[in-house]
Amino acid sequence: VLSAALILGGTFAALIPSGVLTLIQVASVVGVALLLLAIIVMPILLPALIGLTSKIKNYTKKLSKRK
Q: What is this structure's pTM?
A: 0.62
pLDDT in tens, 50-62: 999 988 888 888 8
**Averaged pLDDT of the chain:** 85
Judge residue 5's burial from the number of C-beta atoms within 10 Å of its C-beta, 0-12 exposed, 13-18 middle, 19 or more buried.
middle
pLDDT in tens, 6-19: 888 888 888 888 88
